Amino acid sequence: MFSSSERFDMGSSRGDAYATDYDKNDKFSLKISTAFVLTLLAVAISVCVGIIVHFAGGNKNVTCQCSCPGDGSSTGGQIGCPEQTTLPNTCTPCSNVTQTPPVDMTTTEAPTTPQAPAITDDVWLPTALEPYHYNVVLRPNLYETNPQDFTLHGYVRIYFECKERTNNITIHIQNLNVTSGSINVTETTNRQISVLNHTRDDSARHFLIIWLFEYLEAGSNYYVEMEFSGPLQNEDLSGLYYSSYMEGSDERYMAITQFQPTDARKAFPSFDEPALKATFNITLERRNDTVSDMITLSNMPRIHTVQSSNGYFADIFEKTVVMPTYLLAFAVCDFPHKVNTTKYNHTFRTFARKEYIEHTNYSLWVGSRLLDEFEDYFEIEYPLPKLDMIAIPDFSAGAMENWGLVTYRESIMFYHPDISTVSQHIFTAIVVSHELAHMYMPEWNYLLRGGSHEIHENLVTKVK
């Protein structure tokens, strides 16, 4: 570290020497002469540049041209345009030229059809309508030779209350096509509302906008229904997608869902925001003329099965409790299961492919015990009649707390004492406890728009 006295103490003799040199007259006169020479050199360079510019540019007159009103041509010497200027290569501005007024692009005529709202950064749905119930029928086609040909067909009826007078119904849709002529809007008094048209112009926000010939009135209830179809894909493992796995030398397929946070719109048209909760009647269709019989699973227990068309059977599930779209879950597969009954008489099951079903014994034991413990801890009864856990071969998340049908990555849900590690034993219990804790606080999050997913996850982490 340097102090101020140390920095400038250079010795007396050296300091005197610098002072003596600075005061000498010959050094002072040298600086004056140098400055004089540099000044003369700068003046000479300036003069030379001026001479070069003068002779190279020439002293030519330039005819200015203006676009004069009338014929729109550019000519010199017309009224209102200067003919010449004596300065080289310059023109004075045109004067006295009549300016053409701007064209008025506005019109007072009403558009023949309503226009879609301008796309903004606001991705929320309009607040005019609020859903309260859905009827959903889905038929995933897993039975083609090439999985690229797998498709999804469905039907949805959405009941909603009109909160603000409006002449359109705006809902979410993504990667699905509405069947032409299938959209119907009806007041719950059975009065039909005529549909003007529907548009996907606001596809950036995944909006399907259905324009009506008349206004929906605040305080009234209506429903909108439609048929739709689309590809059953597995590119991003979201929405309703197919998963594949090997059974011996054969490739098998299943359909499964991952809707959090806003991918239910890929499975059926919906008000797909976490704050917009409703009840759901779910029907899933499957075929049983394949190598192994298919089953279907959803949030609630299956109540009965009816024959559908084209060799399909329709499994009809109990009506759900009030819940957001992102907690819905569907599965179509040929998985076997293990079952247990909790202390409070809830059915607890685990599902996995045949080869690994024995690897779910530990998850079944841990899960059913934890469900009892949570009921005792919260002093709140588990609100659903059953709880299923299913291991998915292709699953992007570690696990997902779908109410009544929890989905897991296989490596998280599986444990076998002969081959699994101690850390896997602990990790499986931790993840299962985390997901089951969600069962008791699904309403704590997303109560309003902008609810914090991180806060909800932190609460669940504390509980587990």
DSSP state of 458: H
Which amino acid is located at 211 in the chain?
W
Residue 327 φ/ψ, nearest 5 degrees: -95, 0
CATH of the domain spanning 125-320, picked from 2.60.40.1080, 3.40.50.300, 2.60.40.1730, 3.50.30.10: 2.60.40.1730
pLDDT in tens, 301-355: 999 999 999 999 999 999 999 999 999 999 999 999 999 999 999 999 999 999 9
Alpha carbon distance 370, 376 (integer Å): 10
Catalytic site residue 247? no
Alpha carbon distance 37, 18 (integer Å): 27
Rg, C-alpha atoms of the chain: 39
Who contacts 343 (Cβ-Cβ below 8 Å, separation ≥6)?
Answer: 372, 375
The 3-state DSSP class for residue 208 equals: strand
Beta bridge mates, 45: none
Which one of the listed residues 435, 443, 454, 457 is annotated catalytic? 435
Q: Is the pLDDT of residue 283 over 90?
A: yes
CA nearest 267: which of 111, 137, 457? Answer: 137
Tell me which of 167-176, 234-243, 302-311, 443-452 is least confident. Answer: 443-452
pLDDT value at residue 110 = 42
pLDDT value at residue 258 = 97
Orientation angle between helical segments 453-463 and 422-438, nearest 10 degrees: 120
Binding-site residue ranges for Zn(2+): 434, 438
Average pLDDT over residues 405-415: 97
Residues 335-464: name the CATH superfamily. Neutral Protease Domain 2 (1.10.390.10)
pTM of this prediction? 0.72
The tokens describing 146, both together, are 């090439």
Q: Write the DSSP assignment of 227-283 as a string of letters.
A: EEEEE---SSS-EEEEEEEEETTEEEEEEEEE-TTT-GGGTS-B---TT--BEEEEE
Residue 7 φ/ψ, nearest 5 degrees: -65, -35
Element (DSSP H or E) covering residue 430:
helix 422-438
Q: Is the pLDDT of residue 106 over 90?
A: no
Q: Is the pLDDT of residue 80 over 90?
A: no
Q: With contact defined as beta carbons under 8 Å apart, do 284 and 298 qualify?
A: yes
DSSP state of 356: G
Which amino acid is located at 403 in the chain?
W
Average pLDDT over residues 54-58: 54
Q: How many CB atoms lie within 10 A of CB 377?
A: 12
Alpha carbon distance 301, 286 (integer Å): 16
Q: Is the pLDDT of residue 111 over 60?
A: no
Residue 132 φ/ψ, nearest 5 degrees: -135, -10
Instruction: Delimit the domains of the chain by residue range.
Output: 125-320, 335-464
Element (DSSP H or E) covering residue 188:
none
Beta bridge mates, 408: 391, 399
Q: How many CB atoms lie within 10 A of CB 68?
A: 20
Alpha carbon distance 221, 185 (integer Å): 11
The tokens describing 168, both together, are 């359109």
pLDDT value at residue 200 = 82
Q: How many CB atoms lie within 10 A of CB 373?
A: 13
Q: With contact defined as beta carbons under 8 Å apart, do 330 and 370 qualify?
A: no
Alpha carbon distance 95, 288 (integer Å): 87
Interior CA angle at 316 toward 315 and 318, to 5°?
140
pLDDT value at residue 98 = 43
DSSP state of 331: E
pLDDT value at residue 245 = 95
pLDDT value at residue 55 = 57
